[in-house]
Amino acid sequence: MSAAGGAPRNVVLGVAGGIAAYKAASLLRILTEAGHRVRVVPTEAALRFVGAPTWEALSGRPVATSVWDDVHEVPHVRLGQEADVVVVAPATADLLARAAHGRADDLLTSILLTARCPVVMAPAMHTEMWLHPATAANVATLRGRGVVVLDPADGRLTGADTGAGRLPEPEVLAQVALRVLERGPADPDLAGRHVVVSAGGTREPLDPVRYLGNRSSGRQGFALAMTAAARGARVTLVAANSELPTPAGVRRVDVGTARELRVAVREAAAGADVVVMAAAVADFRPTAESSSKIKKTDDPDEAPTIELVRNPDILAELAAVRLRAGQVVVGFAAETGDADGDVLTHARAKLERKGCDLLVVNEVGAGKGFGTADNSVVVLDAAGGEKVVGPASKADVADAVWDAVATRLQ
């Protein structure tokens, strides 16, 4: 997602006074290398962590913290009016509080009041501060105004402390910022919604070294999680055997087998508005797992016989039970045509059989679907509707799916 092929956009990068301010330098580099004009607006406290010369050298633009700097240009109004997106990373507890209460006591908070473009805030602070009721109330206030406030990551904080409050890595923050920038002034239509997304491919153990699996990379599911966060949702990502980085603002639960995925998805779905089953779940598993490696014998014609049993149909279960009233359930179907019908024939039958609200269908095979940067899908709905999406990036496909979901939620 770069400015290539389109005009560079104006980005205001606000930096509050936390130790994570050093990560914002990398975020700045990513945004400028994407072709956008970035104006860094640090707080006075932020300059204690990273000095103005660093921001000016990386952005190629002057840095100011006070409304009294360059008064003739009226920066506290002009920068907010001209911005296409405002990203605050890190957003400290103090900055969140001042923004929630409409303070305008420095240049950054003044810009937040004048900006009419999308605003993304990436909190970073100690766990106790993030979990404090005052911070929770401030975050709820900001989200209620349409600000995309990402949940912080879990991990190492300052000193020996660990927990919720870590600023996500610059690369995943940039994904969200660029996605919001690409969507433009659209409202964060998933704000206040909890969505659950499954991604990746389950693995069913045969022995300590072998398993039955599939070719799913998890990229489409991770794109769904990232774009949902960029649209304001609270996202739980149930990831099966994926090494992809966790999208910014997303809570991740790692699983291995179909039965583990079933438990994790059902637990998360109990309070969710939307469940999207994008993971490639194994239909079968071995009846028994060998406790030691299955060895071949000297007989070249001898091979073990592996008995299989069906795994639970997680999508059908979710569609039948609806763990929350009004819950929207979305399935994915990787299909191939055969003598009995083409891809869409099989997909429509699956949609009716599963009972979900939407089914996202993609044809798989050589160079299609699994592991590719782009995707082509057809979104089917239970009422008989059909929308072709792509070829497009997996982020664009994800947004098309959320467009269909948002319509149903409304």
**pLDDT tens-place string over residues 255-275:** 999 999 999 999 999 999 999
In this prediction, residue 116 has a pLDDT band, given cuts at 50, 70 and 90, of very high
What 3-state DSSP class applies to 220? helix
Is 241 designated active site?
A: no
CA distance 134 to 144: 15
What 3-state DSSP class applies to 334? strand
Compute the average pLDDT of residues 32-43. 96
Share of the chain above pLDDT 90, in %: 80
So what's the pLDDT on residue 368?
56
User: Both tokens of residue 271?
Assistant: 């309070």
How many CB atoms within 10 Å of residue 383?
6
Residues 6+ apart with CB under 8 A from 295: none
Compute the average pLDDT of residues 203-213. 95
CA distance 289 to 199: 24
Predicted structure pTM score:
0.91
Compute the average pLDDT of residues 117-143. 97
Whether residue 16 is predicted with pLDDT greater than 60 in this model: the reply is yes
So what's the pLDDT on residue 223?
97
Whether residue 242 is predicted with pLDDT greater than 80 in this model: the reply is yes
Compute the average pLDDT of residues 374-400. 93
Give the tens place of pLDDT for each residue, 61-106.
999 887 766 665 656 688 999 999 999 999 999 999 999 999 999 9
So what's the pLDDT on residue 5?
43
What 3-state DSSP class applies to 192? coil
**Which domains does the chain carry?**
10-183 (3.40.50.1950), 194-409 (3.40.50.10300)
So what's the pLDDT on residue 339?
74
Per-residue burial over 366-380, b if 16 or more Cβ lie within 10 Å, else e, is eeebbebeebbbbbb
pLDDT: is 15 or 340 the higher one?
15
Catalytic pick from 214, 241, 362, 375? 214
In this prediction, residue 298 has a pLDDT band, given cuts at 50, 70 and 90, of confident
Whether residue 364 is predicted with pLDDT greater than 60 in this model: the reply is yes
What 3-state DSSP class applies to 403? helix
